[in-house]
Chain A
Amino acid sequence: MTAAIFDGIVIGLRFGLLAAGLTLVYGLGGVLLLAYGQVTVISAVVIIFAMDAGIPALPAVGLALVAGGFMGLVLDLTILRPVYRRHGEARVLLSLLLTLGVAFIVDGFLNWRYPLLGLTLRIGGGPIEIIGVRMPRGSVVASAIAIVAMVGLLSFFRWTTLGRAARSVIEDQEGARLVGIDPHRMLRLILVLSGVLAALVAATQAMVRLIDVRSGFELTVFALIVTVVGGLGSVTGALLAGIILGIIYAIALTYIGTSLSLIILLAAAAITIVIRPAGLLGVRE
């Protein structure tokens, strides 16, 4: 049982990190970024190409983080421009359709040109023992990175002027404008940040399992589920939902088996949303 819970926390941290970028972009700008998993996959491809070119793993990951941020910026400057001119449901719907289109194009291109590409990052050394449970070193390193990233993210939003300003846009966009904050610039910043997070997911995910060019949609779907369960716009909610769902998933994997565990995960998510439509830490509108 302890082992299953540990596995769940490892999975949950990855879920939380995966959902953080998506939930921020939705909470801040009412934009649903369905190409999120593809940003992760492209970042993984960047790591592969960089390492093939002889660049060591760590700088290769650094390069992918820059590439992820750049992709966020490009989305903001191109495909999302018509989205920003709309408001409310029309905005959500248009962002959904346009970014879904981007996702299809990216997936199509990668499947055509590089169908066999896949990334796993092997962390050297044997398993690490934590209170009696032997964990693969890759999982432990990936979890540590996820924890550091989440703590950094939460501190940024809690303690810095810029982070508070970004949160204020989620809280009340008009109020933000009245204190001198430009919501569009904040949203651009958050898109860059979520691109970086997507790239970080590529690196941590690859330490635990394979990411290939077909992983995009699966990643987006998991991110969406965690986002909705956690409450749109809440990083803490994403982390909480990620860990809860991760533990449920891991326990189901251990005791019930692979085939049913995904269904159990989805059912847990569905029940949460029925009981709390705004998600665990979301605000009712």
Chain B
Amino acid sequence: MMLEVRGLAAGYAGGDVVHAVDFHVEAGEAVMIIGSNGAGKTTLFRSVIGLLTPSAGTVEFEGNDITGMAAHRVVRLGISFVPAERHLFPRMTVEENLALGAYPGRPDAETTSVVMDLFPRLAERRRQPAATMSGGEQQMLAMGRALMARPRLLVLDEPTTGLAPKLAAEAYQALGLLKEGGLTVLVAEQQVPLAMALSDRGYVLENGAIRKEGTSAELASDPDVRHAYLGVL
């Protein structure tokens, strides 16, 4: 088991946003967590990767308990997180952003060329400050930076935020290639059709709790899911 989350509850000063959430990710899988705005996807992910301390429950990564571990230590264990807001280093160049992804080491040539092959646009703009790039390019850079740490699990929070449909599809195309290469992927998404095409399994998060789970095919044929997330009446 790559990631196992049990009974996780987390939130902010005003109270918990997610309650008693259970889910897991097997090695080599792509798993999606779908839900509308405010369902608690971001809070859930932040508490899994250590940007937020859970108020209850456990998180295990490859059999090790990482509940409440600080984010900077979690990433060194092999989980990279791409937040919806990207959190790039705006005045630093594409190259510097990528190099920092490999912190505390130096970027190795092999990983760099894998990232550049996946996102050729980054190679073209390597000396450009991150802030001057378009939304789509920034998303590629955020994903590239996350990959520089050579993670075994890549966690993405709504990678299509603010992207035009074509660029959103490109981002998922890249994720598809990474999955074929053996990377385990966990993604939260509102644009369900894209996530569904990528994922083996999925969970539906509503009001901070898991409402449904199943393979992508099962979820795609579920009338409630079709109605709420796939736009089918």
Contact = CB atoms under 8 A, between A and B. Distances in A.
A164 B100 contact: yes
A50 B80 CA distance: 51
B96 to A, nearest CB: 6
20 contacts: A161-B104, A164-B92, A164-B100, A167-B92, A171-B89, A171-B90, A171-B91, A172-B87, A176-B89, A177-B70, A177-B71, A177-B75, A179-B75, A179-B149, A180-B75, A180-B76, A180-B103, A181-B103, A182-B72, A183-B72
Contacts of A180: 72-73, 75-76, 103-104, 149
Contacts of A175: 86-89
Contacts of B149: 179-180
B103 A161 contact: yes
B70 A179 contact: no
B204 to A, nearest CB: 26
Interface of A: 161, 164-165, 167-168, 171-172, 174-183, 283
A171 B81 CA distance: 18
B98 to A, nearest CB: 10
A176 B70 CA distance: 12
Contact of A179 (B86, B90, B91, B100): B100
B52 to A, nearest CB: 11
A172 B90 CA distance: 8
Contacts of B70: 177, 182
Nearest to B77: A180
Interface residues of B, number: 29
Contacts of B100: 164-165, 168, 176, 179, 181
A17 B70 CA distance: 35
Enumerate the 8 nearest inter-chain pairs by beta-carbon distance, A residue then B residue, closest first: A175-B87, A171-B89, A180-B75, A177-B71, A174-B87, A182-B72, A177-B72, A172-B87
B89 A167 contact: yes
A283 B90 contact: yes
B106 interface: yes
A179 B70 CA distance: 12
A259 B76 CA distance: 58
Given A161-B104, A180-B76, 8 more contacts: A167-B92, A168-B89, A171-B90, A172-B89, A175-B86, A175-B87, A175-B89, A176-B100
B83 A174 contact: yes
A179 B103 contact: yes
B230 interface: no
Contacts of A181: 72, 100, 103
B66 interface: no
Contacts of A168: 89, 92, 100
Contacts of A171: 89-92
A177 B52 CA distance: 12
Interface string B136-162: 000000000110110000000000000
**Which among B73, B76, B91 has the greatest number of chain A C-beta atoms within 10 A?**
B91
Contacts of B96: 164
Given A164-B99, A167-B92, A168-B92, A178 B87 contact: yes
Contacts of B76: 180
**Which among B71, B80, B96, B105 has the greatest number of chain A C-beta atoms within 10 A?**
B71
B200 to A, nearest CB: 26
Nearest to A183: B72
B101 interface: yes
